[in-house]
Amino acid sequence: MANFIVDNIDAVVERLDSCGVMAEPVKSEPYGRFSWAFDPEGNRFELWEPAVTEPDGAVEVESLT
C-alpha cells in the first residue's frame, strides 16, 4: 500500500470524490488524520495529514467530528 503525506486531507478527499474516487471517512488519531481509497487498478492507498506539533512539543489534531 502506498502512503501519501498531504497538507490538507479534507481538500484531497474532496478532490478524489470529484474525480469519482470514493475515499473512506477521515479518521483522527493523536499523530494525524487518515483516509484510504483504491486506485483504478484496485491498489489501496493511504492519505496521511500529520498532526501539527507545537513548539512546546504538544501535538494538536484538528477533528471535524
Chain segment 24-65, per-residue pLDDT in tens:
999 999 999 999 999 989 999 999 999 987 666 565 555 544
Residue 65 lies in a domain: no
3-state SS class at 27: strand
Amino acid in position 33: R
Tell me if 19 is assigned to some domain. Answer: yes
User: How many Å apart are CA 8 and CA 3, to the nearest integer?
Assistant: 15
What is the count of structural domains for the chain?
A: 1
Q: Domain holding 36: CATH number? A: 3.10.180.10
What's the CA gap between 10 and 47, in Å, rounded? Answer: 10
Give the pLDDT confidence of 3-32 residue by residue, as tens digits. 999 999 999 999 999 999 999 999 999 999
| Structural domain containing residue 26 | 2-60
Going by their DSSP bridges, the two strands 52-53 and 59-60 should be labelled as antiparallel
Domain assignment present for residue 51? The answer is yes
